[in-house]
Every structure is written in C-alpha cells, then in structure tokens.
Amino acid sequence: EKAGFKHFMLKEIFEQPQAITNTVSGRINLETGEVVLPELTLGADALATIERISLVACGTSWHAALVAKYWIEKYAGIPVEVDIASEFRYRSLLVNDRVLTLAISQSGETADTLAGIRRAARLGSRVITICNVVGSTMTREADGTIYTHAGPEIGVASTKAFISQLAALFLFTLYLAQVRQAIPAEQRRRLGQQLIDSARVIEQLLPRVREQIGTMIESFYACRDFLFVGRGVNFPIALEGALKLKEISYIHAEGYAAGELKHGPIALIDRDMPVLAIVPQDAVYQKTVSNIEEIKARQGRLILIGTEGDTHLRTISDDIIYLPEVHEDLNPLIYTIPAQLLSYEIAVRRGCDVDQPRNLAKSVTVE
Ligand code: F6R
C-alpha cells in the first residue's frame, strides 16, 4: 500500500507531480487560456460584484491561503483577507454579501473552518471551498467547490494536499482574472501552461533533492531549533517548512518573513540554530540576499535554496540546494519540496513516527 516507500509521507511527497496534474487537468484550455471550474457554480455575474475575498483555513491549509493572497491581489486585483479559522469564527467580522468567503481544507471536516463558513454564510457571504475529500461536510454546505483531486492523504503531515491546494488556488486566481478581465487571455494561457509544467519540474527535482538532503542531515538532525525564512510568495512557504519540521521531528522551528528578522529574531542567531532561507532569483531577490548576509555576518549557519546557476549564494551558504528556474509566482510549489524532504529525513533520522506524529490527528473535528 506504500508502493515501496518506507512511509506514506514519502510516498505522498513523490505523488505531488501527479497531484498537480490531477488538480489542473481539464480545467484550463491551453490554446485559449480559458479556465473552467464547473463545480464552483459561481459564474461571472456573481463574481463581478465581489469587493473582497476572505480566505479561511487552519494549519497547512492556512499557509496555502497566505500564498493565494499574493496571487489574487496581483492578478485579479481583488483585496484579500486571510484568517486562521479559529480566529475568524469569534472575531467581529465585516463580512456581507459583497464578500466571498473561501474555505481551504484538505479534509472538509475541520471544526473551526466549518464554523467559520457557517458564520460567514449567516452574514450573507457566498461560500466556496477548496477541498480534497469528495462529499465532505464543507463541500455539502458551501455554495460551490473546487476539488483538489490529490487522492487520499494518509500521512498526518499534509504534503500533496498542500501542493494541490496551491495548484487549485492558482487556477482560481486565473479564473477570477478571467471573469473580471483583469489580465489578457494570452497571459492567462502562459501562466496556466507554467502551472501545468511545474509538475514535470517537481518530478525531475525530487530524486536529486532527496539524495542531496540525505547527505546533509547528519549535521542538522540533532539541532534543537531551526529558523525558516523567505519573502513575498515564499514567506508562507517558510511558515510551512517550519510547521512540517516541528510536527514530525519535534524540533522547535519558526518561520519568518526575511525582512522581519532585524525586528527581533536576529538576536537568536548562533551556530546552534540553522537557518533555511528561500532565495530564488525573483523580484525580491536582492532584498532577501541582504537579509541573509546579516545572518552570515552574525555567524549564522545557512542552508540556502536558490536558483540553479546562482553562484553568489554559494559564497554565503554552508549548504545550498539548487532548484530550476520557473515563473516566480510558481516558486511556492517548487520551494516547498526541499523543506518537506528535510523534515522527513530529519524525523526518520531521529527515529520519529513520521506518519503518526504524537498528539496530532489527521482531521481536527473538535474545537
Ligand atoms: C499540517 C496539517 C494541519 C492541517 C490542518 C487543517 O501538516 O496537516 O495543519 O493542515 O489541521 O486541516 P484541513 O486542511 O483538513 O482543514
């Protein structure tokens, strides 16, 4: 049942290219750039009057929501708010019929997220969900659904469901841009093509990156603390990397926006706390490089993940993992992979129960 893999988590990490393909398949026409989302049931009319989108989720799904805020605001031009569901359900909300509420959930059963959409619906909001489980409670209660089609996820730590949430959210962004005529069809077509191509890119990098990480972890697995940093669309990926590491290896880890380090966390830097930095050659590359040079100047231990051919990074890193260049807005899909594999290999090295971490349940159906 694990198809030759030692754990479900590893199997599911390697299923990610297929998960992206399944999620995107048949939903974008690569000649015209037209996106079709039939189960969404909200057409151009309903979406044309939306003034704001409220994204609601927990844990890893919340990280997907944080990435989507960057995408939707950039390509569809609609203001986006992102809430942790347990906060959303109890804070005072400015939600009404001009706000679209989008719940993101692998299981479709998470109690806080469910309570959040019920509350938004009572306030008059249209509710849609991005969900992996067909027929789950959330999909039954929402006005429309975008299924992720990642296939059943057994490992408690979410991997392929997250990647397919990102793929679905990118598609949804293109759909919004289409109905609101925010970007030209040709640009939509190109972005759609690049989304589809990301599956092949991940397929190719997986074995190589896994092997490289396997040779690196001996010097990291015994650490007590870890920092993950990134900027822009990759800031949520730093949060996700830190969450993966803490849940399966029980190492204390935190994720930060790289520009935020100087406002406090830089005081923690020493040789005992490795910093994993996501540094692709994107629009904020120079800014991120100056942030990590500050870590270097304080004798921090740097694991960098950057763009193939970026030789400058080698001069500042202790370890470096190179990834192929893709469209900068699709980097979150690619840059998630090394952090998943690092967490996995460290957890295995520490003898942890990777598929069933202590104190955690796959689906959190109680408050
Ligand atoms: C982390 C993880 C959790 C879930 C969270 C939400 O690896 O799996 O943080 O992401 O409990 O679950 P869903 O997406 O089912 O609502």
Q: What is the DSSP string of 207-271?
A: HHHHHHHHHHGGGTTT-SEEEEEE-GGGHHHHHHHHHHHHHHH--EEEEEEGGGGGGTGGGG-ST
Output the CA 50–ligand 1 centroid distance in Å: 28
Residue 179, ligand 1, Cβ within 6 A: no
Say how many Å lie between the CA of residue 337 and the centre of ligand 1: 17
Q: Report the alpha-carbon distance of residue 64 to residue 51 in Å, rounded.
A: 21
As a whole number, mean pLDDT of residues 114-128 equals 97
Distance 115 CA to ligand 1 centre (A): 15
pLDDT band at 44 (very low <50, low <70, confident <90, very high): confident
H or E segment at 276? strand 275-279
**Nearest atom within ligand 1 for CA of residue 62:** 10
pLDDT for res 340: 98
Confidence band (pLDDT; 50, 70, 90) for 293? Answer: very high
- Amino acid, res. 227: L
Mean pLDDT value across residues 294-315? 96
Q: Of all atoms in ligand 1, which is nearest to the CA of residue 60?
A: 10
The whole-number average pLDDT for the span 66-71 is: 98
Identify the pLDDT of residue 361.
Answer: 85
Cβ–ligand 1 contact at 139 (below 6 Å) = no
- Does residue 6 have an active-site annotation? no
Sequence-distant (6+) residues with CB within 8 A of 221 are: 249, 345, 346, 349, 350
Tell me which residue has its CA closest to atom 16 in ligand 1.
105
Instruction: Give 59 Cα–ligand 1 centroid separation in angstroms.
Output: 5
Which band of pLDDT confidence, cut at 50, 70 and 90, is reported for residue 45? confident
Q: 153 in ligand 1 pocket by Cβ < 6 Å? A: no
* % of residues, the chain, pLDDT over 90: 93
Give distance in angstroms: CA of 62 to centre of ligand 1: 8
Instruction: For ligand 1, say whether the CB of 148 is within 6 Å of any of its atoms.
Output: no
Average pLDDT, the chain: 96
The first and second tokens of residue 367, run together, are 């408050």
Note the pTM of the prediction, 2 decimals: 0.98
What pairs with residue 228 in β-bridges? 255, 276
- The C-alpha atoms of residue 238 and residue 11 are separated, in whole angstroms, by 22
| 116 pLDDT higher than 90 | yes
Atom of ligand 1 nearest to the CA of 113: 16
pLDDT at 29 over 90: yes
Nearest-angstrom CA–CA distance, 256 and 200: 29
Closest ligand 1 atom, CA of 161? 14
pLDDT at residue 42, rounded to an integer: 84
Its ipTM equals 0.99
Q: Of 74, 246, 296, 362, which one is the catalytic site residue?
A: 362
Integer Cα distance of 172 and 67 in angstroms: 13
Model pLDDT, residue 55: 98
pLDDT > 90? residue 217: yes
60 lines ligand 1 (CB under 6 A): yes
Query: Is residue 148's pLDDT more than 90?
Result: yes
Query: Is 125's C-beta closer than 6 angstroms to any atom of ligand 1?
Result: no
C-alpha angle 176-194-169 in degrees, rounded to nearest 5: 35
Q: pLDDT tens across 151-187, in order?
A: 999 999 999 999 999 999 999 999 999 999 999 999 9
Using a 6 Å cutoff on CB, does residue 84 contact ligand 1?
no
Q: In this model, does residue 299 exceed pLDDT 90?
A: yes
